[in-house]
Amino acid sequence: MELSNRLYIDLLKLTLTDYHRITYPVFEPVKTGKKKSIRTKIILRYLKKRNLVICKRRLQDKELREIGKDYPLHADTMIGLRRLNNIEDCFKDILENNIEGDLIETGVWRGGATIFMKALLKANNCKNRNVWVADSFEGLPPPNEDKYKADKGDTHYLNDSLAISIDTVKENFKKYNLLDDKVKFLKGWFKDTLPKASIKKLALIRLDGDMYESTMDGLVNLYKKLSVGGFIIIDDYGAVEGCRKAVQDFRNEHGITEEIKEIDWTAVFWQKKKEI
């Protein structure tokens, strides 16, 4: 990679993670809860009329941001620097060994990881691969506890901060000048979109669906399209037991024995060595 492209990719990592401003404090709105006193309601109404909110000052942590273990207020990705480095390492291997296929992430939040995938394609002048951006863009589904017992009690669907609209993600692509017709959006629940997606081959799969159901939907519908020599990344393997169980169940069912390699405290990956 030419020096100018190397500098571009390195700077993009810092920008997507907001790491370049990690020494600055952030001011985040204070959650007041559903039950409020009359006095609190009056104060909040007063502030709202003046377009003001109550915030708290929070310092940011370099180590947590590096491994994606904090919640960045302004970043376009929450996966941290190590997981972005992993995407780049996998991509380098894909190019060096001419592994066929597109790139996909299922569960994209603000789009940062897929934006980074598209930047890697652009920096390496790859014009024959798509980046697939798969998400409900409405957050996570309520757990289907009857069908997927591993998701019993899962509360991700209550987290409104995970519901980033498709328009917001498209705007994020645009601000990096990376939105074109090779970026393909799959809007909806994975169980509905992935079986019908017009994806022929994949070289890189990144699953970030948190739950057993979402992870299994990605594995069942995408792994068979992953080229031998391609890579699959599981973002929530260490953090969510349902996700880990989905991976283990799928691997056991299909006799997948490739070594699972650790990226950081939660994310893992492996390289596909044979068809299933």
Own/partner pairs, 168-172, CB within 8 angstroms, 24+ separation? 168/110, 169/108, 169/110, 169/111, 169/133, 169/135, 169/137, 172/76, 172/110, 172/111, 172/112, 172/115
Backbone torsions φ then ψ of 2, nearest 5 degrees: -65, 155
d(C-alpha 140, C-alpha 223), whole Å:
21
The confidence score (pLDDT) of residue 34 equals 75
Residue 20 DSSP code? G
Judging by beta carbons within 10 Å of its beta carbon (0-12, 13-18, 19+), is residue 216 exposed, middle or buried? buried
Dihedral sign for Cα 243, 244, 249, 251, please: positive
Amino acid code (one letter) for 140: L
Phi-psi region of 125 (alpha: psi -120 to 50; beta: other; left: phi over 0): left
User: pLDDT at position 30, please?
Assistant: 87
Q: Give burial (CB, 10 Å; 0-12/13-18/19+) of 255.
A: exposed
pLDDT of res. 33: 75
For residue 245, the tally of other CB atoms under 10 A from its CB is 17
Tokens encoding 266:
């939660």
Pairing outcome for strands 102-106 and 202-207: parallel
> 207: which DSSP letter?
E
Query: Other CB atoms closer than 10 Å to residue 189's CB: what's the count?
Result: 16
Q: Which residues contact 103 (CB under 8 A, 6 or more apart)?
A: 91, 114, 117, 121, 129, 130, 131, 132, 202, 203, 204, 206
Tokens of 276: 């299933």
Domains in the chain: ranges and CATH: 25-59 (no CATH), 80-271 (3.40.50.150)
Q: Which residues pair with 207 in a beta bridge?
A: 106, 234
Q: Do 134 and 186 contact (CB within 8 A), yes or no?
A: yes
Q: Rounded to two decimals, what is the model's pTM?
A: 0.93
Token pair listed for 183: 């970026």
pLDDT, block means (10 residues), the chain with 276 residues: 90 96 91 81 91 93 96 95 98 98 98 98 96 97 93 93 96 98 98 97 98 98 98 97 98 98 98 96
Measured between alpha carbons, how far is 183 from 213 in angstroms, rounded to an integer?
A: 25
What SS3 state is found at 229?
strand
Residue type, 153: G
